[in-house]
Amino acid sequence: DAGITQSPRHKVTETGTPVTLRCHQTENHRYMYWYRQDPGHGLRLIHYSYGVKDTDKGEVSDGYSVSRSKTEDFLLTLESATSSQTSVYFCAIRTATYEQYFGPGTRLTVT
Amino acid sequence: QKEVEQNSGPLSVPEGAIASLNCTYSDRGSQSFFWYRQYSGKSPELIMFIYSNGDKEDGRFTAQLNKASQYVSLLIRDSQPSDSATYLCAVATLNSGGYQKVTFGIGTKLQVIP
């Protein structure tokens, strides 16, 4: 499982509240990613990180921010949650040989 | 045109048959190709990757790549009910800065009928 954990695994929150999702890895991989997965859209990249404090936007980054203060942790923050951000969120790491491995996911519901 | 296209299915095959899953991509500069299996409610699991034209076999799985036709496929021999899942095709392009942009298809749902 590439030593990836995500927390929380499930969350229900109200519109307008901030939400932070955490991804933790134990294998010191440089690259980490946040994706969301929605029916009919597949997996879409939100943000990624290529090192401590080095992050960049993906294709669906509006309304999201990220931070990486330690190699092992990559945080995704929804500044003010909206119903359109109801989704399943996956964290992933990339190995030195370019394979990506995914964490177990967080199911987020915004009411 | 979507960057990575897959038929969403469902693709139904009888147990013991060969399941053939197909994927086309639009970026001729794509370099790496991956197949993930995703069970309902679970995260994607990497099952195959291929970088060069031709076939790559791993157990009951064979990945096939044809860069000229921009086509990648996954064959599952002796299909089992436990193979019933959604199969995601992913295509990666590496830029000069070392960033690997990965684009996923929407996945093909496979049903193996006992």
pLDDT in tens, A6-52: 999 999 999 999 999 999 999 999 999 999 999 888 899 999 999 99
- The verdict on a CB contact (< 8 Å) between B106 and A42 is yes
Chain B residues with beta carbon closer than 8 angstroms to that of A94 = 100
Give the pLDDT of residue A97.
82
- C-alpha triplet B11, B13, B14: angle, nearest 5°: 160
Give the pLDDT of residue A37.
97
Q: What is the pLDDT of residues B45-98, one digit of tens each?
A: 999 999 999 999 999 999 999 999 999 999 999 999 999 999 999 999 877 776
B30, two tokens: 């794509």
**Residue A53 banded pLDDT, cuts 50, 70, 90:** very high
What is the DSSP annotation of chain B? --SEE-----EEEETTS-EEEEEEES-TT--EEEEEEE-TTS--EEEEEE-SSEEEEETTEEEEEETTTTEEEEEESS--GGG-EEEEEEEEEE-TTS-EEEEE---EEEEEE-
- For chain B, the average pLDDT equals 94
- For chain A, the average pLDDT equals 95
- The verdict on a CB contact (< 8 Å) between B94 and A99 is no
- The verdict on a CB contact (< 8 Å) between A42 and B94 is no
> Mean pLDDT over residues B92-113, rounded?
87
Give the pLDDT of residue B100.
76
- C-alpha triplet A80, A69, A109: angle, nearest 5°: 30
**Residue B110 banded pLDDT, cuts 50, 70, 90:** very high
Chain B residues with beta carbon closer than 8 angstroms to that of A32 = none
Which chain A residue lies closest to B92 (C-alpha atoms)? A98
* pLDDT for B1 beyond 80: no
Rounded to whole angstroms, the Cα distance separating A14 from A90 reads 21
Nearest to A102 among B43, B49, B100 (CB): B43
